[in-house]
Every structure is written in C-alpha cells, then in structure tokens.
Structure 1
Amino acid sequence: MPTRPRTRSARRTVPPALDPRRWWADAVTADRLLLAAKTAAAAALAWYLAPLVPFAQSEYSYYAPLGVLVSMYPTVARSASSGVQAVVGLALGIGLGLVSLAVVGTGLPRIVAVATVILVGVLLAGVRALGVGRDWVAVAGLFVLLLGGADPDGYSSSYLMTMAFGVLVGVVVNLVVVPPLRVERADDRLTRLRDDLGDALHRIADALAGHAFDPSAADEATAGLTGTLTDVREEVELADESRRYNPRGRRLQAPRDLGRRRLDALTGTADATRELAAALTRLTGGSDVDARLPDEARRVLAEAVRAVARLVTTPPEPEGTAAQLRESEAALTAYTRHLRRVDADDEPLDAWEAAVALRRVIAACGPFSDPDAATATR
C-alpha cells in the first residue's frame, strides 16, 4: 500500500517566536514567577494604602497599582530609574493637559485641544532622556484633558501623587523582598557558551585530522554562535545591572566586571573560531591540499586546535589557565615551525591565517592567567 505523501503543512515547523512551548518556558521561569508574585503583592499593598496618600483623592486609588506596574522590573536599578522616568513623564503630560484645559476655557474647540495634546505629547516622546516616561506624556495629557472634569487640579494632583506612591511601593518591595540578582544565571550562560566554543573547536580539529576537511562540519560547529552571543550579552548586562543598589550583590566574592571580561574573551574566541573555519575551508578546498598542507602539518595543526579548545574550556582561574596557555603556545609554535619548512613559493596564506586565528583565541584567554586578577569562577 503506497504511503501518502506528507503535506506541506505537516512539514512546516513553527517559528520559535510563535511556539507556545517557548512562550510557556519563558513565562514560568523562577525569576519571572518571583517577579509576578512580588508585583501582585505590591499592587495589592499600594491599592490598600492609596487612600492615605496626601494631596490625593481616595476615588483615584486605582492609579496606585498602575504605578507599581510601571516600576517593577527584573532589577532594582531599573525599577528605580524607570519609576522616576515614568513620574517625570506623567508630570510633563499633566502639565500639558492643564495648559490645554486652560486654552479650552478661552473658547478653543476641545477636538483641537485633543489633537494638540497628542501632537505635543508624541513630540516629547522623542526625548530619549525621558526613558520609559516618554510613553506617558501623551497619555497623561489626554487623561487630564478628557477626564479632569470640573476639578482638573484635584484630578491632576491625585493622578500624579497616587502614581508616584505606587512607584515608590514597587521599588521598595523589589528592594526588600528577595532583590533580584542575575549573576548566577549569567555565569551559567557564559559557562555553556564557553563549553560550546570548546566543542566547536574540537569538532573542527577532528574534521581536520581526517584526510578531507569537511566544510559542512565546520559550518555546523560554528552555526548559531552569533545568536547565542547576543543572548548571553543581554544576560551579562542584566547581571551587571542587578548588582547595582542590591544588598545581595555586596556579598558576592567575584569582581563586578568579571562577567563582562569573560564575555569579551568569548566574543573574541567566537570570532576567531569562525575565521579559523573559513581559513581551513579555503585551505583544504582544492585538489592540491596535500601539497599545500602536508599530512604532518595537518596533524600538528589539529593538535594545536585541540590544545586551544582545552584552553577555551578551562575555567578562568589563573593557575589552570596559565598551564593550558603554555600548552597552547607550544602547540601553535610547533605548527608555525612546520609552515616555515614549506617552500616559500608554495607557502599557503590560509595556513598562516589559521595560525593567526588560533593566536587570537590564545590572546583572548590570556588575561585570565594573571595571578593578580581576581577571576575565580566555575
């Protein structure tokens, strides 16, 4: 019985951004669950205490939970800065709304005032210094203009004070209740990236040790490094930010810039790994590969790549890095000696480019061999 051909829809895969499983995985992380719980608790607390806020009418207490929402971020520093920016944007918008109401009182049609508030609010939203507050200028101005009613001053002061109170509650709760610290997560991502780069170099060395270098194997080994680096860079930046104003961050032994130094080293390693794969693909692409890179030179180069791979996967501690650094230097020196024995007319430039790529990896890892630098990590 003939099998039914698969339809095009059956072969189609769901893009990662639209995969419900990815959504669920992103939504239920431990950090996100903690942030959601703290936000809910802070919003309830702000709602309960809002009637006690001075210069604000209790009927506008619903703005307090909104203030919590605009101030709750994964880090204390971002919560504080975003909260202040939101309040500043609100103040500008409220001022804009009050001015527009005054103009409406002189006889200007309200529809013209609405258009003017939106126009000016959107223009002010282009001021980058306002940060997240840019999004609130036009909104606040429109609310004051349309909802201020017969008591625009009372509504405006209640709106601003209640929102500011909610921001304050959100920042305090984020600071006091398990202040988020993303250093360990960033360290895990850096460690996985380090291991992935080492694995890529080992696979390149294995392919090189064979009689024919397989470009597809090298491409597969280096595929996805750019996207992974982008994700890890965001995680490292978030980890650095999470240590600011965080009492938990003061107890960490690792230096504040360690994650960034590791990221810089791994970024240089990833770039050099891609250059190495490209150079070897060009070097071994022709039929005269044995003449351009004899078996002995190929074997020594493969050993150099393996030594560098072991250097990359060595935790950035001075003693271990220094020992592996010497081994990598010796292996690379052995390879360059073989290249110098090749006749000058036949000496392939790509073979030297492979050596330069390995040298770049060694240079990127070199700073972690300094015994005076506090770089101990996993």
Structure 2
Amino acid sequence: MAGGIRWTSPFAWIVRVIRVPGEERRSLIQITKATAAAVIAWIVATAVLRLPQPFLAPYAAVFLVQATVYRSVRGWAQQVGAVSVGVLLAAAAGQLIPSVTVALGLAVFTGLLIGSWRAFGDSGVWVGITGMLLISYGSATEPVLLADRLLETALGAAIGAVLNAVVLPPLHGERLRTATSRLASAIGDVLEETAHLVRGGDDPEAAERLQERMRDVRSLVAEAEDAIGWTRESRYLNLRRGREEREEPLANLVSLWPPLAQLIDAVSEAVQSEQPIQPPGEYARGVIGELLETLAEVARSGDSEKLDRCRSLVEELDRLLVMPTDEVTTSIGLGAMALPARRLVQRLEAD
C-alpha cells in the first residue's frame, strides 16, 4: 500500500493541478516563475552585464518569488539592504584587519548581530553570510568585485519580485474558499449535535463528544483566521486583487466562535450536572433544538428565510423566559442557552 501511495501520489497531484484551481496549481505556477526568474537573472548577469561568477543573481531571484506580491517587494528591499550592509562590512574588515581569519570571524559576528534587527526580516542572516563569503573568497579588498556582488543581488531580487508581481501574481482565494466551506460545515454539524443533545436530555458521554468536536472547530477557526490574513496580504500591490474572493462570509463564520463556545458550555453544564443549571422543560428544549438546527442550515447556506425562522424562535424563547414559573433552576438553564443562541442569530444577521 505504501508503495502504491508513493507511485500514485504524483499522478494524483498532477490531476489536481489540471482539474482544480487550488493549492497545487498555485504551487506549480510559483515554481515555474521561480525557475524562469533564475534563468532570466543568469542570462542578464552573464550575457548582458558580463559579470564574473554571478551566482547571487539567480539565487536572489528564486527567493524573491514569494507567496504574495507584498512579500516579494518587501523581500527585495530587505535582501538588497542586507547584502549592502554585508558588502560594506566585508570592505571595512578587509581593509582594516590584516588577518583573514580574524576579519572573517569579526564580520560574521557583527553581521549576524546587525542582521537581527527586525527591519531586515528573514534576510537579516545575509548580512553576516555576505561578509563571510566575500572575505573567504578574497573579494573584500577588491572594490570592483564588491560592487559586482551587490549588483548581482539587486538584479536577481528585482527580477524575481517583478516577475512575481506581473505574471499571474499569487492570490489565495482557494484557501479562503476551502476554509469557508470547512468551517461552515463544522459549525453546522456541531449545532445539529447540540440540538440532538438538548432534545435527548441526560447524556454525559454525548456532552464530552461535543466538547471534542468543539476543539476541532476551534482549530478550523484558527485556520480560517490564517486564510483571512493571507488573503488580505495577497491584495497589497496585486494587479489581480479585484478578482479575489470576498472574505466577509468567512470572517462572519469566525465571529460565531465565542457565542458557539458559550452555548456548548451551557448545554454541557445543563446535561452533566443537576445544580445550579438544569435543563429547561420539554417544550423549551424543542424550541432550542429547532433553533439550533435552523442555525445549522443558515451557517451552511446563508438562507435568509431560515434566518427569519431563527428570529421567530428567539422571540419564542424570550416569551418563555418571562413566563411565571416555580422552576427557577430550569429558567436559569433556559437563559444560559438562550443568550448565546441570540448572539449566534445576531452574528448571522450581520453577514
């Protein structure tokens, strides 16, 4: 079986690239652009500028084809800045320190220290590495070679950043769509299970299973927040940003998490313990159960007619809460469930 997976997975990956505009296709596009950027940078550096050993040009080009256009532009500034500081550091060490060993050690230490500055980001390590390479190659005392290294890096980084921004600039709509679908389905399932638990009465094991499902939902909420962040970043400086998916439906689903968690806690408390919260009466449980089932349908589909039904059921819960009753603890249990249920309806109305 393991051998079958190894042989069939590449084929399945290619099929998904062709059939589905998702993560696999985006990865293939980025890989192709990185390859093209490296080749173009090498051709320009060798055939046009005739730079000697311009290995930094294709290297920088590959690393500047980033997941978003914004990261490519920011990475270009950070990479060029880090290499520039590294070149100056190597030049100073080469001129002032006769010993190559001492100069190399000082350049690495000072470069890594300077590179830890937040403004350099992930490129900060190249301050020390650039200084080390130039000193070890014997280029630190030759101004022309130092200038060549800086030119190679700026050229390669610029080619990678421009290619990433102009040719099919990356968007993350598929991540947004996937996260929306998964979270909506998970919230709908949890609401339906909660409705079944409310109607079924005393079932501590079911309450424990529901808590486990809620941890799954929390994980999907974190994934959704990450997808929203990537989507927002991918719009910056992106020529295709007008075609991106709307993030509001997913953001609205994420906003359901706090009242959903409160509702599950209230239901679990009512089911697992006798005091201070007891389950409401049979009719009230039926109203809450129907409300949760209807909310599940709205979370999955956004059906406005179903949302109208949710409002009516919330009004019925309000009526039950103000009715005179001798069952004080039952009223407490009903109120504990009704408040987060109302908030769920309000959040879905905002969509």
TM range (shorter): 0.7 to 0.9
AA aligned to 2:171 is L
Residue 290 of structure 1: how far off its partner (Å): 11
Aligned twin of 2:4: none
**Aligned pair 1:70/2:63, yes or no?**
yes
Q: For residues 98 and 308 of structure 1, what CA distance do their matches in structure 2 show?
A: 67
**Aligned pair 1:179/2:166, yes or no?**
no
Q: For residues 157 and 125 of structure 2, what CA distance do their matches in structure 1 show?
A: 16
Match of residue 37, structure 2, among 37, 42, 47: 42
Match of residue 336, structure 2, among 342, 353, 377: 353
Aligned twin of 2:261: 274
- Count, aligned residues: 332
Secondary structure of the residue aligned to 1:60 is coil
Q: For residues 175 and 28 of structure 2, what CA distance do their matches in structure 1 show?
A: 15
Range with greater deviation from structure 2 (285-294 or 338-347) = 285-294
Q: For residues 277 and 219 of structure 2, what CA distance do their matches in structure 1 show?
A: 35
The answer to whether the Cα contact below 8 Å between 1:279 and 1:351 also exists between their aligned partners in 2 is no
Aligned twin of 2:310: 328
Aligned twin of 2:182: 192
Secondary structure of the residue aligned to 2:329 is coil
- In the TM superposition, structure 1's runs of 4+ consecutive aligned residues that sit over 4 Å from their partners are 24-28, 287-292
Unaligned 5+ runs, structure 2: 1-8, 18-22
Aligned twin of 1:243: 235
Query: What does 1:1-80 align with in structure 2 at a 5 Å threshold?
Result: 29-52=24-47, 54=49, 58-80=51-73
| Residue-by-residue CA offset, 1:257-311 (whole Å, 9 max, x unaligned) | x41x334322221232222111111112135899642212211111121222222
Q: For residues 114 and 309 of structure 2, what CA distance do their matches in structure 1 show?
A: 59
Match of residue 320, structure 2, among 313, 329, 338: 338
Identity %: 22
Match of residue 114, structure 2, among 124, 127, 151: 124
TM-score (norm 2): 0.84
TM-score (norm 1): 0.79
Secondary structure of the residue aligned to 2:272 is coil
The answer to whether the Cα contact below 8 Å between 1:60 and 1:159 also exists between their aligned partners in 2 is no
| Residue-by-residue CA offset, 1:173-204 (whole Å, 9 max, x unaligned) | 22232222222431232132112211211121
Q: Between Structure 1 and Structure 2, which shows a larger proportion of helix residues?
A: 2
Query: What does 1:99-110 align with in structure 2 at a 5 Å threshold?
Result: 99-104=92-97, 107=98, 109-110=99-100
Q: For residues 107 and 292 of structure 2, what CA distance do their matches in structure 1 show?
A: 64
Aligned twin of 1:229: 221
Aligned twin of 2:301: 314
The answer to whether the Cα contact below 8 Å between 1:209 and 1:302 also exists between their aligned partners in 2 is yes
Unaligned 5+ runs, structure 1: 1-20, 369-378
Residue 52 of structure 1: how far off its partner (Å): 4.9
Residue 128 of structure 1: how far off its partner (Å): 1.1
| Residue-by-residue CA offset, 1:115-146 (whole Å, 9 max, x unaligned) | 32222222222211222221211111212222
Residue 157 of structure 1: how far off its partner (Å): 0.9
**Aligned pair 1:167/2:157, yes or no?**
yes
Q: For residues 291 and 150 of structure 1, what CA distance do their matches in structure 2 show?
A: 79
Name the Cα RMSD after superposition: 2.8
Q: For residues 277 and 137 of structure 2, what CA distance do their matches in structure 1 show?
A: 81
Identify if the C-alpha distance between structure 1 residues 348 and 152 changes in structure 2 by more than 3 Å, giving closer, same or farther. farther
Q: For residues 125 and 339 of structure 2, what CA distance do their matches in structure 1 show?
A: 49
